[in-house]
Amino acid sequence: MKNGTNIKVFYLHAFADMRFKGLYFALFLTVYLVTVIGNIVIIVLTKMDHLLQTPMYFLLRNLAFLDICYTSTTLPQMLANLLIEDLAISLPACIVQLYVFLTLAASESSLLATMAYDRYVAICNPLRYSVIMSRDVCLRMVAGSWVIGGIFGAIHTTNTFRLPFCGSNVLNHYFCDIPPLLKISCIDTLANEATVFAVGGFLMHGCFLMIFGSYVQILFSVLNNPKGCGRKKGLSTCVSHLIIVLLFYGSGSFMYFRPKSNMLADKEWLLSLFYTSITPLLNPIIYSLRNKDIQGAFQKHFKKSLTHRHF
């Protein structure tokens, strides 16, 4: 690297002064296990049950897979950080972690917008739903989400690690992220911040506007047809989706696009818990508890497995 960087190791310092580390370790370990197991259950159920072979569940299966990868990029690092004070991470590992994290975050942002569009077509244009949301279209949408994520991750990772880090090598965070890395650079980072605002803002706010527009159309459709039971069921699904969207976009926007302030300077990493841990945890819980199709599929396959064991 031809940028004058003389730091080869970073130290993650988020939990250095926190009491009750054992309790927090048990809590976040539980969060991680529930997240992974819950999303695996969704993947298996939507793959096995023939009634769940629809575009909505195809997208949900991809979201579950994304969430497993997404949370596995940061939570194991957090658990190690709770056990080891000032956990060390090498420069190459930090680069890889940042790229994977940003790629998955941008891919999830795009996929959430795709899921909102899917619900819009299903509720507002049900007669053409199977044509508009064909398997080929869904595959292209999911592939497009990954491509967008890869480009997004490459832009910001390259920009971030072009900076010289010649000061402190301590990151007040539990994984390699853009804000703490910008803070330890020994040159002005205005250009990097502008890139985050421009590229990140275009992607996140563009996806959010697409989601918002879809829900406005869904709301008008339901209000114009108050007796449509099927559409009310669709609206209930959208409410669950909206909860995830608000948590994911709200916390992410506040972390990356808020004005600089010293109020949360030492606790910025707390904001990232919402979009790195809470959202992936809530996805399987909300979609499972509020979705009768998944509940029915789970009960059916659970009873079938008990019957096989009995005989």
Query: Where exactly are the structural domains of the chain?
Result: 9-310
**CATH code matching the domain that covers 9-310, chosen among 1.20.1070.10, 1.10.10.10, 3.20.10.10, 1.10.4100.10:** 1.20.1070.10
Q: How far apart are CA 18 and CA 37, in angstroms?
A: 28
pLDDT at 263 over 50: no
Higher-confidence residue: 240 or 70? 70
pLDDT at site 14: 77
Reported as a single tens digit per residue, the pLDDT across 203-219 is: 888 888 898 888 888 88
Token output for 230? 């099927």
pLDDT on residue 200: 80
Q: List, for residues 23-39, the tens digit of each pLDDT value.
A: 888 989 999 999 999 89
* DSSP string of the chain, one letter each residue: --S-----EEEE-TTTT-S-HHHHHHHHHHHHHHHHHHHHHHHHHHHH-GGG-SHHHHHHHHHHHHHHHHHHHHHHHHHHHHHSTTEEEEHHHHHHHHHHHHHHHHHHHHHHHHHHHHHHHHHH-GGGHHHHT-HHHHHHHHHHHHHHHHHHHHHHHHHHTTS---S--EESSSS--HHHHHHT-SS--HHHHHHIIIIIHHHHHHHHHHHHHHHHHHHHHHHH-TT-HHHHHHHHHHHHHHHHHHHHHHHHHHHHHSPP-STTTT-HHHHHHIIIIIHHHHHHHHHHHS-HHHHHHHHHHHHHHHHHHH-
More reliable by pLDDT, 230 or 20: 20
Can you give the pTM of this predicted structure? 0.86
- Average pLDDT on 189-199 reads 85
From the CB of residue 115, how many other CB atoms can be counted at a distance below 10 Å? 24
Whether residue 42 has pLDDT greater than 80: yes
Q: What is the mean pLDDT of residues 33-50?
A: 88
**% of the chain surpassing 90 pLDDT:** 25
Q: What is the pLDDT of residues 103-125, one digit of tens each?
A: 999 999 999 899 889 988 988 88
Tell me: pLDDT of 143 over 70. yes
When mean pLDDT is compared over 106-110, 165-169, 188-192, the highest value belongs to 106-110
| pLDDT, the chain, mean | 81
Using pLDDT thresholds of 50, 70 and 90, give the confidence band for residue 258. low
Question: What's the pLDDT score for residue 2?
Answer: 43
